[in-house]
């Protein structure tokens, strides 16, 4: 149920993902040999497991609620939560635990870290969790595109615990102030929500001194824009083909034009006190691209019905595929309570488990079929079904990119220079190509 801090890859002073991986790469072999789970027996006898995640105190209460239900359903298993408040501190702490043999039996991993953990060999194959007649959650319940770098030809090492499709939250008051009478959600429903129309709206908003659209600078923004314009980033073989695809090249140029013309805004670089949330609730921006956690933002305004959501616009206006951020649940390969850990993961990821964790104001979208009520109950926003449709059709960060430590962050840094007008689209594509070639 977590939104990942989007600003971390490019402008956080509290933690460097690149520095984390510089250390992680040096101890990869150590991780594979010294990781050790907590003690506990099989699921059929008395067992104890620990599990860990990051999150706010509010999220912690939801997890405690799940733990209580799990204990009721499985009285012989005791699950203890280890909560780390900060996402930026979480993975470094986990690395320390893995190297010392004190890591939890089950733990969350962010989508920008999962590739490293998989390649280090510290995770258990989760195929048994989603296989068999008694499995609480089935492989077919997930959108295969959400597995990202968690699934390889050697096994299934991570399962998305929930997710957040990046939707276009829009402010009806801001649109009206710019003289825009069309409703983006209605246009999308009619199959005529085009990029041309969207860009025209952003230009009108900018002409009125408002922010057109605010985007976070990470993989979903640049690759979703390429996809929306009919372009391709990687081919089926995993080759970075964007520079060779005219539609992709044109998409990158139009993305750059949006930022340099001030129609688009990089949310990461907004000053303290005038952040994206503040601008949106004060009706100073037409569009804000983020996940279901945008509900909390809209509620801050005191007039949440001024806001609704639409999918990414496309060239044709018909629905397309766009980015879906996810975090993952994994099992420590060295756990001493494997059966109990598998039981926990199955319950946690099941439709029942995700409904329990995400209902009544939860800030993410279930990653499995059968939990639609979490998103649809309450009828907010008005077009909440878009969350489900976009999750089903969307994609996680490409496995080729996600499995390389720090690569997504480096790509975002290169893109930021283009967004700020410091580098040209052509030079940026060249720089990203070199990053891909060097890393992949």
User: Residue 217 contacts by C-beta under 8 Å, 6 or more apart in sequence?
Assistant: 6, 9, 10, 266, 267, 268, 269, 412, 415, 416, 419
Say how many C-beta atoms besides its own lie within 10 A of residue 138's C-beta.
15
What is residue 35's predicted lDDT score, i.e. its pLDDT? 39
SS (H, E, C) 166-234: CEEEEEHHHHHHCCCCCCHHHHHHCCCCEHHHHHHHHHHHHHCCCEEEEECCCHHHHHHHHHHCCCCCE
**DSSP, res 162:** E
Q: State how far the Cα of 225 lies from the Cα of 230, in Å rounded to an integer.
A: 9
CA distance from start to end of the chain: 31
pTM assigned to the model: 0.88
Q: State how far the Cα of 282 lies from the Cα of 71, in Å rounded to an integer.
A: 44
What is residue 7's predicted lDDT score, i.e. its pLDDT? 36
Q: State how far the Cα of 266 lies from the Cα of 222, in Å rounded to an integer.
A: 12
Q: State how far the Cα of 60 lies from the Cα of 64, in Å rounded to an integer.
A: 6
Q: What is the chain's pLDDT, residue by residue, as a tens digit (440 residues)? A: 444 444 333 332 222 322 323 333 333 433 443 334 444 444 447 899 999 999 888 888 889 999 999 999 999 999 999 999 989 889 999 989 999 999 999 999 998 889 889 999 999 999 999 998 889 999 999 999 999 899 999 999 999 999 999 999 999 999 999 999 999 999 999 999 999 999 999 999 999 999 999 999 999 999 999 999 999 999 999 999 999 999 999 999 999 999 999 999 999 999 988 999 999 999 999 999 999 999 999 999 889 999 999 999 999 999 999 999 999 999 999 999 999 999 999 999 999 999 999 987 678 999 999 999 999 988 899 999 999 999 999 999 998 898 887 899 999 999 999 999 999 999 999 999 999 998 77
What is residue 290's predicted lDDT score, i.e. its pLDDT? 97
SS (H, E, C) 99-158: HHCCCCCEEEEECCCHHHHHHCCCECCCHHHHCCCCCCCCHHHECHHHHHHHEECCEECC
- Tokens 């309570």 sit on residue: 337
Q: Which residues is 330 bridged to in the sheet? A: 107
The answer to whether the bond into 381 is cis (omega within 30° of 0) is yes
Is the torsion defined by CA of 173, 176, 182, 184 positive or negative?
negative
353 contacts 232 by C-beta, under 8 angstroms = no
What is residue 439's predicted lDDT score, i.e. its pLDDT? 77
309: enclosing H helix or E strand: strand 307-310
338 contacts 160 by C-beta, under 8 angstroms = no
Among 163, 165, 262, CA closest to 214 = 262
CA 44, 48, 49 angle in degrees (round to 5)?
Answer: 110
Q: State how far the Cα of 413 lies from the Cα of 222, in Å rounded to an integer.
A: 12
CA 228, 232, 235 angle in degrees (round to 5)?
Answer: 145
User: Residue 216 contacts by C-beta under 8 Å, 6 or more apart in sequence?
Assistant: 6, 7, 266, 267, 268, 289, 290
Q: Which residues is 356 bridged to in the sheet? A: none
Among 50, 51, 59, CA closest to 4 = 59
Residue 267 tokens read as 């949310």
What is residue 292's predicted lDDT score, i.e. its pLDDT? 95
Residue ranges and CATH numbers for the domains of the chain are: 8-165+325-400 (3.40.190.10), 167-322+406-439 (3.40.190.10)
CA 314, 318, 324 angle in degrees (round to 5)?
Answer: 65
């Amino acid at each position: 149920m977590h939104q990942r801090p989007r600003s971390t890859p490019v402008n956080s002073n509290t933690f460097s993902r690149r520095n984390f991986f510089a250390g992680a790469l040096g101890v990869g072999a150590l991780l594979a040999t010294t990781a050790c789970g907590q003690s506990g027996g099989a699921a059929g006898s008395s067992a104890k497991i620990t599990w860990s995640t990051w999150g706010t105190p509010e999220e912690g209460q939801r997890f405690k609620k799940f733990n209580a239900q799990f204990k009721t359903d499985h009285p012989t298993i005791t699950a203890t939560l280890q909560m780390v408040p900060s996402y930026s501190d979480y993975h470094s702490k986990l690395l320390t635990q893995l190297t010392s043999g004190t890591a939890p039996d089950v733990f969350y991993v962010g989508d920008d870290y999962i590739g490293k953990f998989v390649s280090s060999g510290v995770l258990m194959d989760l195929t048994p969790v989603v296989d068999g007649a008694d499995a609480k959650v089935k492989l077919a319940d997930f959108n295969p595109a959400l597995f990202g770098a968690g699934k390889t030809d050697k096994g299934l090492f991570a399962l998305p615990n929930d997710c957040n499709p990046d939707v276009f939250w829009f402010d009806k008051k801001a649109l009206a102030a710019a003289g825009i009478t069309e409703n983006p959600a209605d246009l999308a429903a009619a199959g005529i929500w085009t990029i041309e129309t969207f860009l025209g709206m952003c230009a009108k908003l900018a002409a009125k001194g408002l922010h057109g659209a605010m985007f976070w600078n990470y993989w979903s923004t640049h690759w979703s824009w390429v996809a929306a314009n009919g372009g391709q980033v990687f081919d089926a073989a995993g080759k970075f083909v964007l520079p060779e695809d005219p539609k992709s090249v044109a998409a990158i140029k139009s993305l750059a034009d949006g930022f340099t013309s001030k129609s688009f805004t990089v949310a990461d670089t907004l000053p303290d006190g005038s952040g994206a949330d503040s601008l949106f609730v004060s009706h100073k921006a037409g569009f804000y691209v983020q996940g279901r956690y945008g509900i909390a933002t809209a509620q801050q305004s005191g007039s949440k019905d001024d806001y609704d959501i639409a999918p990414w616009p496309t060239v044709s206006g018909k629905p397309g595929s766009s980015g879906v951020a996810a975090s993952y649940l994994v099992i420590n390969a060295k756990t001493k309570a494997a059966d109990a850990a598998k039981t926990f993961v199955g319950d946690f990821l099941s439709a029942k488990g995700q409904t329990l964790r995400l209902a009544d104001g939860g800030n993410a979208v279930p990653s499995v079929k059968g939990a639609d009520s979490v998103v649809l109950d309450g009828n907010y926003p008005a077009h909440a079904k878009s969350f489900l449709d976009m999750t089903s059709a969307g994609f996680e960060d490409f496995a080729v990119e996600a499995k390389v430590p720090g690569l997504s962050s480096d790509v975002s840094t290169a893109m930021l220079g283009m967004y700020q007008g410091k580098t040209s689209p052509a030079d940026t594509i060249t720089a990203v190509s070199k990053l891909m070639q060097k890393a992949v």
